[in-house]
Chains A and B, each alone.
Chain A
């Protein structure tokens, strides 16, 4: 019988793999940032699946706290990456004008 935590854990690994592949192969910066976000969700899913201990026992709170921290750090990194991308865009425009 397939267990809930196994199902979501394997799903997390597949999502992380898909995100990693797209992050390496895509050429567009924003697409890559999006791919890294999908990769992050995959990793979080593995963590939370590990914390799950069945329907009746309370789950392990430590991975939950780690993932909460991770979500905020991921969004901060996304914002910084998009800021850098915007700066590059402005610089490209300047060189095009010359």
Chain B
């Protein structure tokens, strides 16, 4: 009977997610829509937990819902007030065509998905991961895939993050800082920030053998920076000048360095020596965390920090 109870929970979660998604997409006010999206992200984290994906649940709660929500709200603040263009105000034929096409696509995808579920589609990579886990240097299978078996993907992901950061930095100066908050918020931030830093450190360390890792830790550290920024503090925890640039490229840099150094003994790129794997993974993760934090805080600022260009501006003046 426990199975049935869980199925009821699944049904409730699924209905809730569906309603929140529709509300977030078609809400009259965009501000409400963004708040609903943040709630949707948190409920989704519960669904990940239900599907035994705690690593993804942590990342979704911290990045997908938290940082993305903060970014969307900051984007909303950038706009000058104007009357909201209402949803789907398009000719009926456009709405109908797109809707039918999307329904057709969804039905095809459902058919493919159900077919794949019903018929065994051959050996899974998951079994190989479990078999080789002992050689990976860590005991959390997700970390093993991310930083050992498929380290290429993670390296390229850090490169994508860096590319997005460069794109944002090229767009101009940072957003104006929010107004200074009241004493209650300042007090709260003074409590929250050290707590976030400690939790991030814990997640980074524990990622080797339990849910956690560089992404979750980086997102939490970035959240600390964003919270400090939101309270109206001119600082955001990032160093200034050359150091912040070094931090932004540290993830890719150290990863590449370790990858190239591992070729020294005749091995392939990113093929770590077996008895060093755990240490190397931790080393990469520490710098990946710092790079992810720096990138997320900088993209939240929305452009070049004032502290970068002040020297140049003075020189020009």
Contact = CB atoms under 8 A, between A and B. Distances in A.
Interface in A23-72: 24-28, 30-31, 33-35, 37-38, 41, 44-46, 48-53, 55, 58-62, 64-69, 71-72
B145 A61 contact: yes
Interface string B177-189: 0000000000000
A27 B85 contact: yes
10 contacts: A7-B10, A15-B21, A41-B41, A55-B52, A62-B124, A68-B213, A72-B59, A72-B157, A76-B161, A93-B80
Contacts of B144: 61
A6 B84 CA distance: 38
Interface stretch (B68-76, B190-198, B253-261): B68-76
A67 B142 CA distance: 10
Nearest to B44: A41
A58 B312 CA distance: 55
Given A9-B117, A48-B51, A18 B21 contact: yes
B194 to A, nearest CB: 25
A17 B71 CA distance: 24
Binding site secondary structure of chain B? helix
B164 interface: yes
Contacts of A51: 51, 53, 126
Given A8-B10, A38-B37, A85-B75, A22 B25 contact: yes
B89 interface: yes
A62 B56 contact: no
Contacts of B71: 75, 78-79, 82
A83 B299 contact: yes
Given A2-B7, A52-B53, 9 more contacts: A11-B14, A18-B22, A27-B85, A33-B72, A37-B68, A62-B129, A65-B142, A69-B157, A75-B296
B215 A68 contact: yes
B177 to A, nearest CB: 15
Interface string B189-230: 000000000000000000000000101000000000000000
Nearest to B41: A41
A5 B106 contact: no
Interface residues of A, number: 73
Interface of B: 6-7, 10-11, 14, 17-18, 21-22, 24-26, 30, 33-34, 37, 40-41, 44, 47-48, 50-53, 55-56, 59-60, 63-64, 67-68, 71-72, 74-76, 78-80, 84-85, 87-90, 94-95, 98-99, 102-103, 105-106, 109-110, 113-114, 116-117, 124-126, 129-130, 141-142, 144-146, 150, 153-154, 157, 160-161, 163-165, 167-168, 171-172, 175, 213, 215, 292, 295-296, 299-300, 302-303
Contacts of B130: 58, 61
Contact of A83 (B30, B95, B303): B303
B126 A59 contact: yes
Contacts of A83: 167-168, 171, 299, 302-303
B281 to A, nearest CB: 13
Nearest to B58: A68
